[in-house]
Amino acid sequence: MRTAKYLSYKNNGLRLLYILSRWVLHHFQIKYGINIPYNTVIGSGLYIGHYGGIVVNHEAKIGRNCNINHEVTIGATYGGKHPGIPTIGDHVYFGPGSKVIGGINIGNYVAIGANSVVTTDIPNNAVVIGNPAKIISLNGSTNYIVNTDW
């Protein structure tokens, strides 16, 4: 994914390598069931705990050291209260089956529980669960994050 993104900005005879990297990315998206487009902005340290069913909008912005489990969707809405694409902070944990939808901001050190549907802004250090997601504590995601650099 990162190779395809890097090569997309190069115009110096690497076009064939860019096409090959896009083909390899597409192959692995089908093989593993993870659809994260090459032009998605993702910070370093992304951790995917399990393969399968992960869908991320190409305009989403994901911060550093985030953990994404299986069946997670980070998607857009084009109407309603919060149209747009989510912006995810650093050190965010996505529980299995969680959905983050719309033009919302997820703060740093947030833990999103399994099968939660987040459609509103979430502040830093929040733990949210449910459909629609509700804040249950401000203990954050420090016990859930695998890759840390703090």
Question: What is the domain-level CATH number for residue 67?
Answer: 2.160.10.10
144 belongs to a structural domain: no
For 24, the domain range is 1-32
What is the number of structural domains in the chain? 2
76 belongs to a structural domain: yes
143 belongs to a structural domain: no
Same domain, 68 and 123: yes
Looking at residue 89, what is its pLDDT? 96
**Could you tell me where the DSSP H helices lie in the chain?**
2-8, 15-32
74 belongs to a structural domain: yes
Residues classed as catalytic = 70
* pLDDT, the chain, mean: 90
Confidence of residue 14 (pLDDT cuts 50, 70, 90): confident
Same domain, 56 and 75: yes
Q: What percent of the chain stands above pLDDT 90?
A: 65
Same domain, 28 and 76: no
pLDDT in tens, 48-85: 988 889 999 999 999 999 999 999 999 999 988 899 99
Q: In the predicted model, what is the mean pLDDT of residues 42-51?
A: 89
Cis peptide preceding 132, ω within 30 of 0? yes
19: number of Cβ within 10 Å: 12
Q: With left for phi above 0 and alpha for psi between -120 and 50, is residue 23 left, alpha or beta?
A: alpha
Looking at residue 146, what is its pLDDT? 67
